Amino acid sequence: MTVTDDTVSITRPQIGPRQLFIDGQWRESGSGTRTDIVDPSTGQVVTSVAEATEEDLDAAVQAARAAFDDGRWSALSGRERARILNRVAELVRERADEIIAVESVNVGKPVSLCRPVDVLTTAEQYEYCAALAQTAGGSNRETPLNAHAYTRREPLGVVGAITPFNFPLILSSSKIAPALAAGNSVVHKPAEDTPLSALLMAEILTEAGVPAGVVNVVTGKGSTVGEALLQHQGVDKIAFTGSTAIGRHAASVAGQNLKPVTMELGGNAAHIVFADADVEKAIGAIIKGFVFNTGQFCMGGPRLLVERPLYETVLTILGDAVPGVPVGDPFDPSTVVGPMAADKHVRKVEEYVQIAREENARIIAGGERLDLSGGFYYKPTVIADLTNSSRVVQEEIFGPVLTVQPFDTEDEAIALANGTEYGLAAGLQTGNVARAHRVAAKLQAGIVWVNDWAMLDPAVPFGGVKNSGFGREYGPEALESYTKVKSVVISLD
Ligand code: NAD
């Protein structure tokens, strides 16, 4: 993990109460109800956000629909849209310190990682999508008809974007940037606990020149405002990132309404270490893979599979190294692992570690909360000797927990890696190029990393297979899922 030292001056921000962003205006919710926003590193309330009603959500969809229909954004040329999206990226870079402070106080992200990860990725997503806006389009089709046939890629209309708590900035951008590049309007429902950066991005999008009504941000509960967005007949596509359980429900509602959906769901990736790996390099990737974002990372690597000759060696190294990973205040520039985003997430980790103890697993490191300033901390934890059928291995813990299992053959490693319901990411460490390609082809995952972890880039598509979902974000593939194809055939008679 690259920790930067240009975050020394970033301090906890003062944030006033935030409102809904509908049709270019900041408004209170119709009910006047508000949700407290808590700093996970202290457990203290830092501000509150408006909790939207179904009527507020309806107003946002109507605004997005009107903006789409009158062409204030959808009818701009790709080049004009690109100019504004590039301006968004510039503003994200210019306002980086402010964004980092907001994201850190809301999610508990270490400020030292927020710049190279969250801020940079967000800026690059807008830049990448700006390039796509100028180059994407239809194509001519050769046909024996006496006709000129071509396709047009047209925007879908109003996109309902629903995002989870763990990477608020990056995941909202991974939907809003391609949706805007393609000419759509958006109604965004961020996670109830971590909506602050989405509201800040609404300011930035407006400052960059995105017209009123084109992007609307409605904050509130998933069961009310999220559900209303899913069910709304004025929405043309649902772009959902979140848990498999809610995704399953969202996909069924979209199916009932015959709306296209992309589903970026849970993960539980296996990280395979073959005996021919560069162990020192592998250890860095292993630790990054499970502590990054305090393990609240859908593409984390919480299931380590180690070829038997290296098994005890790797456990010994992890037992020495993991307690030394700097855990602490996200505003301390030396912190690598911050608190979890909410106390309920720590309690979930505690339940899984308790199950591991009851199954007589070996706790190699961690295994308990870290009592620090009233925050939601859990020590990075390594657990050995569980079987593949354990719930601790099978289920998505979504915390800083690594399970470690031995294997004897390449086929066994692949079977163990593929042996859960999930298929988002996977990875392997090996010095054998042929094995790298062979195993990568057999792993059931949307992305496979070899000899490192979490190498993500707006140009490289990612997404799930199996219960990790369908559809791809990033890359040109992302733009495709925000457009529909129309064929035009002109008679030459
Ligand atoms: P979640 O499923 O609880 O919530 C996701 C979003 O759905 C939130 O905005 C929530 O308010 C909303 N929601 C809840 N109920 C709803 C309903 N009935 N109708 C509409 N919306 C509703 O997920 P979470 O706990 O915020 O995030 C963690 C999960 O997200 C993990 O499973 C993680 O793996 C997954 N995730 C996946 C990716 C990916 O790219 N595949 C990325 C990040 C997180």
CA angle 316, 379, 198 (to 5 degrees): 130
Closest by CA to 128, choosing from 160, 168, 173, 73, is 173
Is it the case that residue 144 has pLDDT exceeding 60? yes
Q: Tell me, what's the pLDDT at 9?
A: 80
Å from CA of 198 to ligand 1 middle = 15
* Percentage of residues in the chain having pLDDT higher than 70: 98
pLDDT digits (tens, 9 = 90+) for 340-354: 999 999 999 999 999
Ligand 1 near 162 CB (within 6 A): yes
The confidence band for 8, taking pLDDT boundaries of 50, 70 and 90, is low
- Ligand 1 mean position to 266 CA, how many Å? 8
Among 127, 192, 227, 264, the active-site one is: 264
Tell me which of 121, 166, 224, 466 to substitute to probe ligand 1's pocket, judged by most ligand atoms within 8 Å of the beta carbon: 166
Task: Name the nearest CA neighbour of 413 among 319, 277, 245, 284.
Answer: 277
Ligand 1 close to Cβ of residue 396 (< 6 A): yes
Q: What is the pLDDT of residues 360-383, one digit of tens each?
A: 999 999 999 999 999 999 999 999
CA R_g for the chain: 23
pLDDT digits (tens, 9 = 90+) for 389-416: 999 999 999 999 999 999 999 999 999 9
Q: What is the largest CA-CA distance in the chain?
A: 80
Q: How far is the CA of 222 from the centre of ligand 1 (A)?
A: 9
Q: How many CB atoms lie within 10 A of CB 23?
A: 16
Most ligand 1 atoms within 8 A of CB, residue of 172, 221, 238, 246 to mutate: 246
Cβ–Cβ under 8 Å, residues 247 and 265? yes
Task: Please tell me the residue having the least CA distance from ligand 1 atom 10.
Answer: 222
Retrieve residue 167's tokens. 């990477």
Instruction: For 410-454, write each residue's pLDDT tens digit.
Output: 999 999 999 999 999 999 999 999 999 999 999 999 999 999 999
Q: What is the CATH number of domain 270-457?
A: 3.40.309.10
What integer is the mean pLDDT of 467-490?
Answer: 96
Q: Print the SS3 string covering 134-203.
A: HHCCCCEECCCCCEEEEEEEEECCEEEEECCCCCHHHHHHHHHHHHHHCCCEEEEECCCCCCHHHHHHHH
**Are 440 and 238 in contact, with CB atoms under 8 Å apart?**
no
β-bridge mates for residue 186, sequence order: 159, 215
Give yes or no for residue 2 having a pLDDT over 50.
no
Q: What is the model's pLDDT at position 405?
A: 98
**Is the per-residue pLDDT at 138 higher than 90?**
yes
What tens digit of pLDDT does each residue of 190-240 get?
999 999 999 999 999 999 999 999 999 999 999 999 999 999 999 999 999
Q: At what angle do helices 78-94 and 196-208 cross, to 10 degrees?
A: 130
Whether ligand 1 lies within 6 angstroms of the CB of 400 is answered as no
Q: What is the pLDDT of residues 13-44, one digit of tens each?
A: 999 999 999 999 999 999 999 999 999 999 99
Q: Scanning the structure block, which residue is given the tokens 């000797």?
A: 385
- Asked whether this chain's domains 2-265+468-488 and 270-457 adopt the same fold, the reply is no
Q: What is the rounded distance in angstroms from the CA atom of residue 294 to the CA atom of residue 288?
A: 10
pLDDT of residue 3: 47
Q: Is 225 in the pocket of ligand 1 (CB under 6 A)?
A: no
Say whether pLDDT at 6 is over 80.
Answer: no
Domain ranges of the chain: 2-265+468-488, 270-457
Confidence of residue 260 (pLDDT cuts 50, 70, 90): very high
Q: What is the dihedral of CA 449, 451, 457, 460, to 10 degrees?
A: -40
Question: CA 277, CA 378: separation in Å to the nearest integer?
Answer: 30
Ligand 1 touching residue 267 (CB < 6 A)? yes
What is the Å distance from ligand 1's center to 245 Cα? 9
Question: Which residues are CB-neighbours of 96 under 8 A, at least 6 positions away?
Answer: 115, 119
Q: Which CATH superfamily is domain 2-265+468-488 in?
A: Aldehyde Dehydrogenase; Chain A, domain 1 (3.40.605.10)
Q: In what order do the strands lie in the sheet with 381-384?
A: 362-365, 381-384, 401-407, 303-307, 270-273, 425-429, 447-450
- The amino acid present at 268, given as its one-letter code, is N
User: SS3 sequence, the chain?
Assistant: CCCCCCCCCCCCCCCCCECEEECCEEECCCCCCEEEEEECCCCEEEEEEECCCHHHHHHHHHHHHHHHHCCCCCCCCHHHHHHHHHHHHHHHHHCHHHHHHHHHHHHCCCHHHHHHHHHHHHHHHHHHHHHHHHHCCCCEECCCCCEEEEEEEEECCEEEEECCCCCHHHHHHHHHHHHHHCCCEEEEECCCCCCHHHHHHHHHHHHHCCCCCCEEECCCCHHHHHHHHHHCCCCCEEEEECCHHHHHHHHHHHHHCCCCEEEECCCCCEEEECCCCCHHHHHHHHHHHHHHHHHCCCCCCCEEEEEHHHHHHHHHHHHHHHHHCCECCCCCCCCCECCCCCHHHHHHHHHHHHHHHHCCCEEEECCCEECCCCCCEECCEEEECCCCCCHHHHCCCCCCEEEEEEECCHHHHHHHHCCCCCCCEEEEECCCHHHHHHHHHHCCCCEEEECCCCCCCCCCCECCCHHHEECCECHHHHHHCCEEEEEEEEECC
Residue 136: its pLDDT value, please?
85
Percent share of the chain, pLDDT over 90: 98
Q: Span 310-334, mean pLDDT?
A: 98
Q: What is the mean pLDDT of residues 311-320?
A: 98
CA distance 424 to 414: 15
Active-site residue, 359 included? no
Q: Is the beta carbon of 165 within 6 A of some atom in ligand 1?
A: yes
* Mean pLDDT of the region 173-192: 98
pTM of the model: 0.97
**pLDDT of 76-107, one tens digit each?**
999 999 999 999 999 999 999 999 999 999 99
Confidence of residue 320 (pLDDT cuts 50, 70, 90): very high
Does 218 contact ligand 1 (Cβ within 6 A)? no
